[in-house]
A = this chain, B = another copy of it.
Amino acid sequence: MLLQNLAVLVLAGFVGFLVISKVPNTLHTPLMSGTNAIHGIVLLGGLIVLGLGAEGTLDKILLVIAIAFGTINVVGGFLVTDRMLGMFKGRSDKDAKR
C-alpha cells in the first residue's frame, strides 16, 4: 500500500513538474492561485476524519474548522483565479499565437 502510494507520489511530482515547465510569465500568478485552490483538497481529509466518526467535542470543533478552512481554500481559490483570468479574456487570441 505505502509503496504503491509512493509510486503515485513520484509520478504526481513529475506531472506537477512537467505541467508547469512551459507556462508564459503572464500566467504565473493565476497559475499560483489555481494550484493554491487545488491543495484545498485537504478538505477531504477533514471530511474523512469527521465523517468516519471522530469523537469528542474539541475534536469535532477542530474538524469543522478544518473543513471550513479547506472549503475557503477551494472556493475562494477557484473564484479568485477565475477573476484574474477574466482580465485576460478577449485578449487571449493574440497571445495564443506565441
Contact = CB atoms under 8 A, between A and B. Distances in A.
Nearest to A1: B4
A65 B8 CA distance: 33
Interface in A1-56: 1, 4-5, 7-8, 11-12, 14-15, 18-19, 21-22
Q: Is the interface of A mostly helix, strand, loop or mixed?
A: helix
Counting chain B CB atoms within 10 Å of each CB, the highest count among A1, A7, A22 belongs to A7
B8 A4 contact: yes
Contacts of A12: 11
Taking residues whose C-beta sits less than 8 angstroms from the other chain, chain A's interface range is 10 to 19
Interface of A: 1, 4-5, 7-8, 11-12, 14-15, 18-19, 21-22
Given A8-B8, A15-B18, A21-B22, 9 more contacts: A1-B4, A4-B4, A4-B5, A7-B8, A11-B12, A14-B15, A15-B15, A18-B18, A18-B19
